[in-house]
Amino acid sequence: MNVSVVGSGYVGTTLSACLADLGHDVTAIDVDEETVDRLNAGETTIHEPGLDSLVSAYAGSRLRATTAHADAAETDLTFLAVGTPAKPDGSIDASVLLAAAEDVGEAIAEKEGYHLVVVKSTVLPDVLEDELVSAIEAASEGTESGDVGVAANPEFLREGSAVRDFMEPDRIVIGTDGDERALDRLAELYQPLISDWDIPVVETGRREAAMIKYANNTFLAAKVSLINDIGNVCKAFGVDAYEVADAIGLDSRISGEFLRSGVGWGGSCFPKDTAALVAGAESVGYEPAMVQAAIDLNDRQPERLLELLDRHVDVDGERVAVLGLAFKPGTDDVRGTRAKPVIEGLLERGAEVIAYDPRAAEAMAEEFPDVEYADSAAAALEGSRGAVVVTAWPEFAGLDAEFDAMADPVVVDGRRVVERREGITYEGLTW
């Protein structure tokens, strides 16, 4: 098929490259000329395993990039994969997405015959129906046949495994409100995945599809908050929350995924989507108590980590190593990372913070320029009075003799990666 993808960020680039790999001809559309030039040169600014090789393999053949939204009209269907950042009150800022939708609507107004617009971006049901669908339909008014379909098709890609998650999804969610042509087109598009992997396709309404995305992320975030809550209780009773989690995870109704307790969740999605769900619910007169509790617990968890450190050291004037800055291992992304409240809490206590992360130090230095950044975990630990582990980088599991360079070492582990051993005062956050 001939497909256009508006937005060449994280989701859009992964989608474009993977659709090209499935055999489709893809036009990636982005307002940023540098992004477009780089894509056409076979390069990407996004670090994602397997993505570079797909982009370089298909650039100039099945994948091309342009700044011209008008080119969308030359294709069979157009994905909107533009970001929906959070406003200060937690609600989503859909302005860039709406502008992109209008551009596409105007482009396809000139087209003869049916055109399908597929919303990949994360939007609440009311924004989707009342703003986005209306914007597309209004802008495309006057189409020869007035023939525009809008579908919602949320993504469930994780940073660090986005290409694999695209190629082997648990399910594909397609919201069409019963528009058979939209359904047929998307079924044809995903046919290679559906037939090769026997992937379930969930056919539903547009509003439902939009909500599935929020429910999915909120459920996972709340699951982590719940195991953190239980983990805090475990710690108070001297119980190992990881042994508890391993056992309850064997119950197929619970499952063992997302049961790693610790300093909490971050990233570009869980914090944004849970906040948007609360703000959206409140705008229609409902206060989602469980979701709010999940957020509150996540906000408190970094302070619990520091309280464990307080039990052993008065960090005022002391050097404290922060191990891990990325919101999870395998990425340089610091959006929503628990390292921020941890560093803020340490600075408030008067500590001298020395941070280390194998990939995310540069990004963190933009927000905390006065913190010292070490080149290795060993260098961060040397001479530090305390250490806190915030990100589960595998290399931290190998730390051992490095702790001997600390003055009377106290280690508070927020991710259960460091081995407890003699000679270290070790505290696990939930064990």
DSSP secondary structure code for residue 329 in this structure = T
Nearer Cβ to ligand UGA (295/424): 295
* Dist. CA 13–CA 120, nearest whole Å: 12
Tally of CB atoms within 10 A around 171: 11
Nearer Cβ to ligand UGA (75/91): 91
Q: Which of 122, 117, 173, 126 is nearest to 149 (CA)?
A: 117
Residues 157, 230, 351, 354: which binds ligand UGA (CB under 6 A)?
Answer: 157
Nearer Cβ to ligand UGA (81/148): 81
Contact indicator for 4, 69 with CB cutoff of 8 Å: no
3-state secondary structure of 367: helix
* Dist. CA 422–CA 399, nearest whole Å: 13
- Span interacting with ligand UGA, options 27-35, 153-161, 200-208, 380-388, rule CB under 6 A: 153-161
Q: Name beta bridge partners: 151.
A: 118
Is 373 a binding residue for ligand UGA by CB under 6 A? The answer is no
Which residue is associated with the tokens 């994602």?
48
* Dist. CA 262–CA 268, nearest whole Å: 19
- Span interacting with ligand UGA, options 157-165, 188-196, 356-364, 367-375, rule CB under 6 A: 157-165
Site for ligand UGA in 296-335 (CB under 6 A): 327-328
- Span interacting with ligand UGA, options 19-27, 101-109, 267-275, 351-359, rule CB under 6 A: 267-275
Q: How far is the CB of 337 from ligand UGA (least distance, A)?
A: 7
Is 156 a binding residue for ligand UGA by CB under 6 A? The answer is yes
Residues 4, 14, 143, 217: which binds ligand UGA (CB under 6 A)?
Answer: 217
Contact indicator for 368, 337 with CB cutoff of 8 Å: no
Is 7 a binding residue for ligand UGA by CB under 6 A? The answer is no
- Span interacting with ligand UGA, options 262-270, 285-293, 350-358, 418-426, rule CB under 6 A: 262-270
Which residue is associated with the tokens 């030039």?
37
Which residue is associated with the tokens 């990949």?
120
Q: Name beta bridge partners: 64.
A: 27
Residues 7, 90, 231, 267: which binds ligand UGA (CB under 6 A)?
Answer: 267
269 catalytic per annotation? yes
Is 258 a binding residue for ligand UGA by CB under 6 A? The answer is yes
Which tokens hold the place of 274?
């849970």
3-state secondary structure of 86: strand
Q: How far is the CB of 262 from ligand UGA (least distance, A)?
A: 5
Which residue is associated with the tokens 């939930």?
430
Q: How far is the CB of 330 from ligand UGA (least distance, A)?
A: 9
**Contacts for 293 with CB less than 8 Å, ≥ 6 apart:** 225
Nearer Cβ to ligand UGA (164/260): 260
Q: How far is the CB of 411 from ligand UGA (least distance, A)?
A: 19
**Contacts for 278 with CB less than 8 Å, ≥ 6 apart:** 90, 287, 288, 291, 292, 295
Is 159 a binding residue for ligand UGA by CB under 6 A? The answer is yes
Residues 158, 171, 181, 421: which binds ligand UGA (CB under 6 A)?
Answer: 158
Residues 265, 356, 373, 403: which binds ligand UGA (CB under 6 A)?
Answer: 265
Residues 7, 149, 266, 330: which binds ligand UGA (CB under 6 A)?
Answer: 266
Which tokens hold the place of 73?
């009209």
Is 224 a binding residue for ligand UGA by CB under 6 A? The answer is yes
- Span interacting with ligand UGA, options 76-84, 113-121, 183-191, 260-268, rule CB under 6 A: 260-268
Nearer Cβ to ligand UGA (207/260): 260
- Span interacting with ligand UGA, options 82-90, 104-112, 141-149, 258-266, rule CB under 6 A: 258-266
Nearer Cβ to ligand UGA (269/277): 269
Which tokens hold the place of 54?
């797909």
Q: Which of 14, 98, 111, 102 is nearest to 58 (CA)?
A: 14
Q: Which of 150, 269, 320, 418 is catalytic?
A: 269
Residues 79, 190, 270, 396: which binds ligand UGA (CB under 6 A)?
Answer: 270
Nearer Cβ to ligand UGA (259/355): 259
Is 409 a binding residue for ligand UGA by CB under 6 A? The answer is no
Which tokens hold the place of 43?
């390069």
* Dist. CA 33–CA 364, nearest whole Å: 27
Q: How far, CA to CA in Å, does 188 sit from each of 18, 72, 182, 197?
A: 15, 19, 10, 15
**Contacts for 247 with CB less than 8 Å, ≥ 6 apart:** none
| Cα end-to-end distance, the chain, whole Å | 53
Catalytic center residues: 269
- Site residues for ligand UGA per CB under 6 A: 155-159, 217, 220, 224, 258-260, 262, 265-267, 269-270, 327-328
